[in-house]
Structure 1
């Protein structure tokens, strides 16, 4: 795990030193409208560089959140305006569209929160929201929350834990089942809370 982290830092740090927040914004934004990019990895490394005084932490967090929000909005607009074209050209397969519709219909705002943490889904979900004609108000609410969660976990988290990575990895390997249990419980609680809130709104 530490070796992988070192590789990521060594590979991405030169780009951040040379291009700064621009490359971070670009990598995070394009993931919101269908282009695979190492947005989360750039955010993690940016947070770690900020912890060492090499970047501005407020800048990293604000640029990461705004880029995610803007990229997701572009994806939503692409789905709204050009969804039929994407389907006709085969750029989005019919079965993929059906899965996105089902996922969005089932989880709503929670789908937007979860999408940024699932490879493949984070590139297509916002386009799917547009194709599915998810109400703009619902989309904007979910899209306001999702970037905040993203930068807290992948930006602020690494910045706060940069100097604690070694002890944390040791603790994780010693208490792996406990850590997985706590993490699963936190995610499940958040998803259930959002679903309950949505059902209350629908029945109100």
Structure 2
């Protein structure tokens, strides 16, 4: 994971140095209306660069929040105004629409919050909210909550943790095999615990 993060930093930093907040805003915004982009990765790297004094942290957080909120609103309006066209053209499959409707109906505002952290949902849920004609006030409230939490975690979080990144990377490289072994063991224990719990429930019924 840490190796992947180093790769992302090396790959995206030149774009941020060259284009600044514009590339951050663009990458984050387009995800809100169905276009896959590395918006979250750009936000993480921007936060880390801000911690090193290479970008303004308030500007990064404000840009990320505004771009995410605006992109989601555009997605909502696309779904609201052109939902039938999207379905008729097959750009949104009926099966996808049904899943989005079920997800929105089950979780409501919480669906918008969860979607910010799930690839695929991040790009389609706001369009789905428009197609489902989710009330505008409900959408705006959920959108504001979702984008605020997302920016704090992936913008402010990396900025706060950047100073600890060096020791973390050193520790990871020195104990890589042990960490992977421990992680695998914990996952296996969790799977076994879930299986035992499910089996116990079946026996009780």
The residue number in structure 1 matching 2:98 is 98
1:127-146 superposed matches below 5 A:
127-146=127-146
The residue number in structure 2 matching 1:4 is 4
**Structure 2 length normalisation: TM-score?**
0.83
Residues 111-167 of structure 1: per-residue CA shift (max 9 Å, x gap): 000101101000000000000000001000001111111111100000000121244
The residue number in structure 1 matching 2:163 is 163
The residue number in structure 1 matching 2:22 is 22
- Distance in structure 1 (CA, Å) of the matches to 2:36 and 2:141: 24
- Distance in structure 2 (CA, Å) of the matches to 1:89 and 1:95: 14
- In the alignment of these two chains, the number of paired residues is 179
Do structure 1's residue 33 and structure 2's residue 33 form an aligned pair?
yes
- Distance in structure 1 (CA, Å) of the matches to 2:144 and 2:155: 16
- Distance in structure 2 (CA, Å) of the matches to 1:167 and 1:152: 23
The residue number in structure 1 matching 2:52 is 52
**Structure 1 length normalisation: TM-score?**
0.83
1:82-121 superposed matches below 5 A:
82-121=82-121
The residue number in structure 1 matching 2:43 is 43
Q: Which one has a bigger Cα radius of gyration?
A: 2
Structure 1 stretches of 4+ with a deviation exceeding 2 A read 165-178
The residue number in structure 1 matching 2:203 is none
How far has the Cα of 1:59 moved from its partner? 0.2
How far has the Cα of 1:6 moved from its partner? 1.1
Larger mean CA deviation between 96-105 and 145-154 belongs to 145-154
Gaps of 5+ in 1: 182-204
- Distance in structure 2 (CA, Å) of the matches to 1:56 and 1:112: 28
